Structure 1
Amino acid sequence: MFPKKLFFLFFFLSFWTLDAQESKTISVLDSLFYYRSLAEDQSQDLDYRIKSVKRAIHFANISKRDTSILKTKRLLATLYLNKISRNEMGVDSLYTLNHQNLKLAKKLKDTVALGYISNVLAYCSRKKFYADSAYFYYYNTSKYFESQNMLDQQADAIYYMADIQFEERDYVGCENTAARAIKLYEEMPQTETTLDNLWGLYNLIAISADELKLFDQAIEYHYKALSFSDKMEDNYLYTLYSNSNIALIYKELKQYDKALKIYQDLFENKSLLMEEPNNYALILGDYAHLKHLMGNYPDSEIKSMLHEAYKISDSINSKSGIMSVALNASEYYLDKNELDSAKYFSAIAYNLGKKSSTHDVVLNALKLKSKIDTTDTSYLNEYVKLSDSLVNKERAIRNKFARIELETDQLELKNQQITRERMWLLILSAGLLITLVLLYIIISQRAKNKELKLVQQQQEANEEIYNLMLSQQDKIDEARSIEKKRISEELHDGILGRLFGTRLSLDSLNLSTSEEAIKSREGYIVELKNIEQEIRKVSHELNTEFVSGSGYEDIIATLIETQSDAYGFKSDISIEGDIVWEDVPNKTKIHIYRIIQESLQNIYKHAHATHVEISFKLKNNVICLFITDNGSGFDVNKAKKGIGIKNMNSRVKEIQGDLEITSEKDVGTSILIKIPI
């Protein structure tokens, strides 16, 4: 029985261990919250905040709480975004971090987190110029936020998708995607942010229509964009951008008067316009180009405007401004047959367009180059080649974007189908499991009853075997006793009788009165008496020896002797200590017998030993059985799965004993079995 003192000690230690673990957990969480609060403190230096959040991540990992890990890593991602916005680091670390966050958010099934993480991955992909990956992540972002009814975030993601499609020249796809985003924004309150986004989307549709040569539609959507910028408080740049784009379309349509009116309106507030030098240079260059096309303005004025526009763009290193003005200047000088200047500006536009992969500029520059130098057909060939490749790329990217949406939707449907199937599978599995559990209970109960019967039968068989063994030993002991009694009787009745007669004869010879004869006879008589006493002693010991105490030991000795002879190896047996076998339960004695029998059989089969030693020792009411051989030895760990050792283990456990096996290759094996009595 478990001692009360030990129980209370165990309870105290368990409570202390749990308390220590809880204290450790609290300490880890305290450290996590402390460092995370430092990272969230916007008054701190950004590098210090990043260092703090990395320490917080360390403690979050120790806590093994996925929600804490995800929250802390998302904070690090936010700080990385701040650093990227300052141009103090690239996006690679942020990209890697958010892939980890995405995996963790999927594990937690945190849809909102998945939306924000996918949004950041899209941003990183766009920074790395992976348009298809960016589109994929923005599409996933929109789906995640849609499932949570987060319209703002969903609309923003779709807006970015439309923007990517425009950049990749998928103008039809851009219009359709932008229209989807517009529907969402129109459901929201018209805040400055919403108006800004609506202006941007209508502007995107307008310039897409312009690229598709749908000029009337383009003008219509630019005016729709203006209707939203008119509602904004700080709308100057929005209005400027829309009007300048409308002027460009009118110029393309050769409706020069309408275009001129817009430019004149824009330049009424020239001082305000000049506060945005990049826009001013672009519009000034386009205005000069319009005056050139109209043909009723002096060349000096046009050249002055182009020169000023180029100078401003160059001074602020505006690549877009330089390319736009250079194209306008090249066209102007070509028309004026000033070919060197035309060639100079077309080369500037071409080289910058190539470096920045601004394909429209490259195409226009090549077209101008082919007109400037009509003898060199390489420009025209390059133009055709680039134009064809762009058309093919547009088709490919258009199909790719459509495929991304289709495959993502199919994957979502497939996941939904899998979820439904899993639910049904779970229900069926639960039903099947319950059925199997019931069957198992019934079968195991029957098996247990059967096992109990078998155990009972085994016990009865063991008892019967042991009783037969004892009966056999009793017969042997009885035969020994009879034989000893017979020998005793013969000693007593035969030898002693004869010795007694001899003594009497010597007594009769004692009539001789010679002193020497008398002494001699007396010596013989004394010797005969001694012999008589010795024989009586032996006879008494033989007749009174009690052998019942050695019965079980004889059974074991007989087993060992019989098996050793059969298996062809020598054996020694020794028993130390006063083991009272009558006090040992029959069940224990039977198991000891069977264990020795099993061990000898295993030695014969596997060890190929030539000598076996078996000994019993009694130590502190524990019978220690040692079985040692000089065989080949074996790997104890590998042999644990063997049937022989399993049987031994089973028998030792039955009698609450302990089994220890040590073995060394080519040296032998030792088995120690400790049996409490």
Structure 2
Amino acid sequence: MSTTYAQTYNEEKFDSILYYLKLADNNKVAFKKREQMCLRAKTLAAEIHSYSLQQKSNLKLIGLYKAFDKNKLYVKFTHENLKLAEEFKDSITVAHMNKNLGYYYYDKVHDSAHYYNNKAEKLFRKLNDHFNTAAVLLDVASLQREGKDYTGSELTLIEGLKLLNKIEYPSKEVIRKKAYFYNSLGIVFNVLEQYDKSIEYQNKSIALKLKLKGDNKSSIELSKNNLGNALKEAGKYELAIETFKEILEDNTLAEQQPDFYVMVLDNYAHALYLSSKKSALPGLYHKALSVSKTLGKDNYKSIVVLKHLAEYYHDLGLKDSAKYYAYEAKRIAEKFHNDDLLKSLLLLSEIEEGEIAAKYLRDYVKLNDSLQKSERAIRNKFARIKYETNEIEEENVKIAKERMWLLIISIVIIVASFLLYIIFTQRNKNKELEFIQKQQETNEEIYNLMLSQNEVIEDARALEKKRISEELHDGVLGRLFGARLSLDSLNMNNSDIAIKTRGQYISELKVIEEDIRKVSHELNADFVSGSGFREIIKNLIETQTATYELSYKLDWESAIDWDEVSNKIKIHFYRIIQEALHNIYKHAKATEVRVSFKFESETIRLSIIDNGSGFDVNRAKSGIGLKNMKSRIKEINGTIAITSQKEEGTTVKIDVPTS
């Protein structure tokens, strides 16, 4: 879908879209019918190229799928709406769709939740939308808390509260969101064992929730439960008991929120246990356990109740009962493999005796290490969100000045560096040009040498042709002339002697024929073909190895037609061999060198092998000689491979294509 087309107004279709969307809002209509209405509206909106109506139709569908727990369709159309918004550069909708996806993946795939939350946060910040940025940060803080990054969660929550405090006229939703932030901070500080802070923030959360109009009973009771836990952990058992009792006074709690009722009842019973008020125990624990079983077999909520029962019976010295409930807690906790399993193992190590107790203690340590390692891995995935402290905000003016000076200094350094770069680059270019000029002069010298050698070869060819011509003229032609005269004289004579004589002359002609064929073959064979370059290389190797006191072996493959090879390649081969022999003498301490030329697949391979001391190819630095060799090989589109082992010598293989 293109973002450039214009909306095509069609009154009939426009009215139909509005009708379908209105019908989709009717809760009395069946889900399937409402879905069809949304899809029809969406199709018509696409036909008239109305982006706003397409968005509206998509949002209706997304809300419908969410309400009816159609998760796959919810995700599909959220992504579709996100793509559509991105095409039309609708930043607000893009931000909200990312926020929705982050919330959807919150309890499913933490990595995906963090990914979409991060994208949503950046977009909301750009839009200067403090409320929605804070809403995303609340989810991020919850993910951090679940990953046991409590410090990171605390910092994220504080940053979110700062954003909400910037909103001048806070609405009901802003106040509710603040209450959620205080509640989350209370939970984090409770885990960090800062109980006074935890109690303070839970009280703030409850106070804000009480200000809100409407039915906030469940939310208030949740914060009161968290407050009771903080009071219990702080050792303020009486206040904790009173707090839990307030919640349990709600007679509808067990029926409407049985899972929450189990948790509060267990917390109340545990507070009584810690305050040594045990008259209602273990009855309250068993009541909580009984309600827990109505939620389903091996319900997660029952683990803590079972653990508290095990502690209670262990305290009374009833080991069999203590073991029974401890093992039950462990059995159910193993299905979830989390901190409750860890606590169950520790409890069993305290209840059991001897080797069994030691075994559970070892299992506890092993699982604890495993969980910590896993938690560290999760924390490392999430980038910690940075925020500015009050002190930094107060020093913004000072920082701005420092940044200005830093910018000026940076510009000066950059300009100076650029000028130095130009100077050094120009100097290196001049050196490179000088090197290229010297290289060209050397190449010309070698080329002239090869031309001189070729002149010698051509002279040799001319002399040989002259010799063969004289041999044909003076020898073979003379013998042919004599044989012809003799045959003419015998042509009319048919005597036996004449016939015998003619036969002798015919034999002589056959011998002469063979001599002619031999001379022709010698003329056909270019006996000096390619020998010019070979002689030059042989002379180079003989001269240098004699100077360096090296023995040598030179191998040529006859398949190489050196007359067809360009002079440029020949020159570079000459210089490469020269440089290689010099390097062998200078560095290798060799006594023998082998040079060979082979031809395969339109490629000439030059191999230079020595029996010297060798070196570590990976660590050795390239000297000027090697750099020059590589430069020459690059010029003729060749490749070089160097292998070497200490005390075993070095092999250099150079492959150069002939075409």
* Equivalent position to 1:312, from 291, 302, 308: 291
Match for residue 168 of structure 1? 147
Matched residue SS, 2:68: helix
| CA pair 59-277 structure 1, distance change in 2 beyond 3 A | closer
Question: 2:38–2:61: 8 Å Cα contact kept in structure 1?
Answer: yes
2:343 corresponds to 1:343? no
2:294 corresponds to 1:294? no
Match for residue 40 of structure 2? 55
Structure 1, residues 4-58: CA drift from partner, whole Å, max 9, x if none? Answer: xxxxxxxxxxxxxxxxxx9997776666555445435555332212112223333
Matched residue SS, 2:152: helix
| CA pair 200-356 structure 1, distance change in 2 beyond 3 A | farther
Report matched runs for 1:215-226 at 5 Å: 215-226=195-206
| CA pair 70-240 structure 1, distance change in 2 beyond 3 A | closer
* Equivalent position to 1:328, from 308, 312, 335: 308
Which letter does structure 2 place at the counterpart of 1:102? L
Question: 2:190–2:230: 8 Å Cα contact kept in structure 1?
Answer: yes
Match for residue 227 of structure 1? 207
Which letter does structure 2 place at the counterpart of 1:310? L
* Equivalent position to 2:157, from 154, 171, 178: 178
Matched residue SS, 1:213: coil
CA distance in 1, matches of 2:50, 2:225: 55
Question: 1:229–1:238: 8 Å Cα contact kept in structure 2?
Answer: yes
Structure 1, residues 534-575: CA drift from partner, whole Å, max 9, x if none? Answer: xxxxxxxxxxxxxxxxxxxxxxxxxxxxxxxxxxxxxxxxxx
Match for residue 126 of structure 1? 106
Structure 1, residues 99-122: CA drift from partner, whole Å, max 9, x if none? Answer: 232222112110111022112222
Structure 1, residues 656-677: CA drift from partner, whole Å, max 9, x if none? Answer: xxxxxxxxxxxxxxxxxxxxxx
| CA pair 143-295 structure 1, distance change in 2 beyond 3 A | same
Which letter does structure 1 place at the counterpart of 2:134? A
Pairwise CA RMSD of aligned residues? Answer: 3.3
2:373 corresponds to 1:392? yes
CA distance in 1, matches of 2:252, 2:46: 55
Question: 1:139–1:405: 8 Å Cα contact kept in structure 2?
Answer: no
2:96 corresponds to 1:116? yes
Match for residue 135 of structure 2? 156
Report matched runs for 1:535-614 at 5 Å: none
CA distance in 2, matches of 1:306, 1:229: 30
| CA pair 58-368 structure 1, distance change in 2 beyond 3 A | same
| CA pair 259-25 structure 1, distance change in 2 beyond 3 A | closer
* Equivalent position to 2:344, from 357, 362, 365: 365
Question: 1:158–1:177: 8 Å Cα contact kept in structure 2?
Answer: yes
When normalised by structure 1's length, the TM-score is: 0.50
CA distance in 2, matches of 1:172, 1:310: 34
Which letter does structure 2 place at the counterpart of 1:329? L
**Higher fraction of helix:** 1
Question: 1:286–1:328: 8 Å Cα contact kept in structure 2?
Answer: no
When normalised by structure 2's length, the TM-score is: 0.51
CA distance in 1, matches of 2:300, 2:209: 24
Match for residue 202 of structure 1? 182
2:87 corresponds to 1:107? yes
Report matched runs for 1:418-429 at 5 Å: none
CA distance in 2, matches of 1:328, 1:270: 24
Instruction: Quote the offset at 1:291 in angstroms.
Output: 2.9
Question: 2:152–2:384: 8 Å Cα contact kept in structure 1?
Answer: no
Which letter does structure 2 place at the counterpart of 1:167? E
Question: 2:8–2:48: 8 Å Cα contact kept in structure 1?
Answer: no
2:59 corresponds to 1:74? yes
Which letter does structure 1 place at the counterpart of 2:344? A
Match for residue 570 of structure 1? none
Match for residue 474 of structure 1? none
Question: 2:103–2:139: 8 Å Cα contact kept in structure 1?
Answer: no
Structure 1, residues 577-622: CA drift from partner, whole Å, max 9, x if none? Answer: xxxxxxxxxxxxxxxxxxxxxxxxxxxxxxxxxxxxxxxxxxxxxx
* Equivalent position to 1:381, from 362, 370, 386: 362
| CA pair 59-185 structure 1, distance change in 2 beyond 3 A | same
Match for residue 77 of structure 2? 97
Identity of aligned residues (%): 29
Structure 1, residues 414-457: CA drift from partner, whole Å, max 9, x if none? Answer: xxxxxxxxxxxxxxxxxxxxxxxxxxxxxxxxxxxxxxxxxxxx
Structure 2's unaligned 5+ residue stretches are: 1-6, 388-659
Instruction: Quote the offset at 1:339 in angstroms.
Output: 2.8
Match for residue 419 of structure 2? none
Structure 1, residues 39-87: CA drift from partner, whole Å, max 9, x if none? Answer: 3555533221211222333344445555554443333222222221xxx
| CA pair 286-65 structure 1, distance change in 2 beyond 3 A | closer
Report matched runs for 1:498-513 at 5 Å: none
Matched residue SS, 1:355: coil
When structure 1 is superposed on structure 2, of 364-373 and 281-290 the one drifting more is 281-290
